[in-house]
Amino acid sequence: MSQIHRKFTPEFKSKVVLELLETGKSISEIASKYSLLPKSVTTWKKQFFENASSAFEDSVSTRKYKDEIKEKDEKIEQLEKTLGRTVMERDWLSKKVGSSGLIEKFSLVDPQAPNIYHEAM
């Protein structure tokens, strides 16, 4: 039997750890209250203390990081639009070329050489 792996949001993890610190309850009590493994609560508490200093970091670096993400998201959006246009053009061209006759197809390759059809025969 496989067990379902539950995922918890950072907000939930913070809530559990803060409750642990504020109430003075044991890890086992908090874990049973939220139906968690005590090991998970211990890990979250450790992570909480390891990353606590980031709450006081300069917001300029955070803003710079968010700006970079925003720029990359905009670039991805622009690339997706370009890809969509290209796919539409390809589909249109394949339909257009598919319905053309052989001479018209040869003229699309090199309009200056209309006698390719005759030379190929």
Q: What is the pLDDT of residues 75-119, one digit of tens each?
A: 999 999 999 999 999 998 888 777 777 767 666 666 565 565 555
Helix 10-23 and helix 38-50, axial crossing angle in degrees, nearest 10: 90
Q: What is the pLDDT of residues 51-77, one digit of tens each?
A: 888 777 777 777 888 899 999 999 999
Could you tell me the pTM of the whole model? Answer: 0.47
pLDDT of residue 54: 78
pLDDT of residue 94: 84
**In this structure, which amino acid lies at residue 14?**
S
pLDDT of residue 59: 73
Per domain, the residue ranges of the chain are 7-52, 60-121
Report, as an integer, the average pLDDT of 5-30.
93
3-state secondary structure of 101: coil
**In this structure, which amino acid lies at residue 31?**
A
pLDDT of residue 111: 58
3-state helix vs strand vs coil in the chain, percent to 5: 75, 0, 25
- DSSP letter assigned to residue 112: T
